[in-house]
Amino acid sequence: MRKILPIIALVGLALTILPPLVHLLGSLPLKMTFILMTVGMVVWFGAATPWLGRKDLRPSDTEVQI
């Protein structure tokens, strides 16, 4: 599951970026653009948060050096 999160997150990011560009070309209605961008935003935040936010801590990372 951990390896598929970046793929899902990038698909969500593409759904956020591409619909306005397609709308600019005149091929996509405004309402569908908003729907696709909203779905892309939810997918991006849902998949990118665990992918980018979690860092595996090792004991050497928590040592304090004086």
Asked if residue 11 belongs to a domain, the reply is yes
Q: How many residues does the chain have?
A: 66
Domain assignment of residue 64, yes or no: no
Higher pLDDT, 38 or 58: 38
Task: Give a yes or no: residue 10 inside a domain.
Answer: yes
Burial of 11 (C-beta count, 10 Å sphere; 0-12/13-18/19+): middle
Mean pLDDT of all residues belonging to the chain: 86
b/e 17-28 (16+ beta carbons within 10 angstroms → b): eebeeebeeeeb
Mean pLDDT within 52-62: 64
26: left (phi over 0), alpha (psi -120 to 50) or beta: left
Q: Which two tokens stand for residue 33?
A: 């653009």
Residue 16 lies in a domain: yes
Q: How many domains does the chain have?
A: 1
65 within a domain of the structure (yes/no) = no
Q: Is residue 9 part of a domain?
A: yes
Domain that holds residue 19: 5-55
Model confidence at 63, pLDDT cuts 50, 70, 90, reads low
